[in-house]
A and B are shown apart, each in its own frame.
Chain A
Amino acid sequence: MLTREDLLQRLLEPYVTLTAEEIEAASAQAARDAEVAEAFRLCRALSGLSEAAIFGDPPTSDATFLVTLRERISPSALPERAVFGSRRMLAAVCVTCVMLVAVILGGGRLSGVSASSNESAMAAAVEALDSPVAFDVDSVAGVSADPDSLAAYLGLPEMAASWDFQENSDEPVTDALLGLDPQSLEEVLNTLEVTSFF
């Protein structure tokens, strides 16, 4: 025979399934015991309630939920990405590296210029370097700043007559250039432009 306390404890268990004996005992007790009667009613009421009836089923299907979940977890699935980037980026870097190595090892052959063209271009460049009139630095430093010497040095002797700067200036060459008329200055600058100093 169940005691009152046992019966109450039993009635308050979640989703309890009462035996016939328990139901009979609960009914008898409930007839003269308000607390047991209330617990008995609550037991029957709550046992009949499903959580889906109270809260409702999930609003999305399993498939929809999984798709959304996969979209959320895919970036976190590859923690190494933070260091190495995506697979696509990694592949692009590898391809670029392979191409760079090929270009370096292959020299100019991958650029579309033939070896013979390279050789003739190199020869032409060397010839061009040899051909300009070269001025020795020492000789430049030793040029007198008077108009005749400077004009002779620059290969413009006919210009000397029109230059009127003085040799005793602290910056004779600058003074001379500032004293030139625009046309003469242009000629001097053009001459200096093609002059190579070694």
Chain B
Amino acid sequence: MPDSTTDDVELVRQFQAGSERAFNELVRRHRRGVFLTAAGLLGNRDDAEDVTQDVFVKAYQSLHGFRGDSAFYTWLYRITVNLCLNQLRSRKVRSFFGIEQVQAALPEAERADHDLERSELSSRARRAIAELPEKQRAVFILRHFRSLPHAEIARIMDRDEGTIKANYFQAIRKLRIKLGPYLQGKE
């Protein structure tokens, strides 16, 4: 019986031994991170929810072949990034949240808890992230929001670590350019 203290490796082993509950626990643990990563990459909450489902369906089908060469979350985020990039390429999703989608993205109670300045900053940050090139966006989200080390992101993106670092600093530089004037105005 899996519990919250069981680590991912043990849950994967239990699932491979036939425990469906172990897979449910893995879903509970990683679903939010997968969703937020997909939302950041796709810029659309509905698409992100669909992709999150696809990620776990694919994980369920492939997990018996998972040998543990990398961490489970690395493996899971690799699936997430690949599915998102595929969807971006196939659907030509270029737009991020519009203002009306921003309002839909945040629950009423949560919006009420944020001051206007923070909401404005969130909206600007969302737009700025959406305008990053796909790979820089993926690297930025995995590094900044998922707090993954460059080496892990390199494994997820199947790139060398130097490229990932360069992508990340390019992303930061562009965000500074986009958000700088707004932040200066607030000083």
- Residues of A that sit less than 8 Å from B by CB: 12, 14-15, 38-39, 41-42, 45-46, 48-49, 51-60, 62, 65-66, 68-69, 72-73, 76-77
Contacts and interface: CB of A to CB of B under 8 A. Distances in A.
B179 A56 contact: no
B147 interface: yes
B24 A66 contact: yes
11 contacts: A41-B183, A42-B179, A42-B180, A49-B125, A51-B40, A52-B36, A55-B48, A57-B35, A58-B35, A59-B45, A76-B60
B13 interface: no
B107 A12 contact: no
Nearest to A79: B61
A65 B27 contact: yes
A14 B153 CA distance: 14
A146 B39 CA distance: 101
Given A12-B169, A52-B36, A65 B31 contact: yes
Given A15-B147, A42-B175, A76-B61, A55 B24 contact: no
A56 B46 CA distance: 11
A68 B53 contact: yes
A58 B49 CA distance: 7
Interface of B: 24, 27-28, 31-32, 35-36, 39-40, 45-46, 48-49, 52-53, 56-57, 60-61, 105-107, 110, 114, 118, 121-122, 125-126, 129, 141, 143-145, 147, 169, 172, 175-176, 179-180, 183-184, 187
Contacts of B126: 54-55
A142 to B, nearest CB: 80
A55 B57 contact: no
Given A53-B122, A56-B39, A58-B31, 9 more contacts: A42-B180, A51-B40, A51-B145, A53-B110, A55-B105, A60-B49, A62-B28, A65-B31, A69-B27
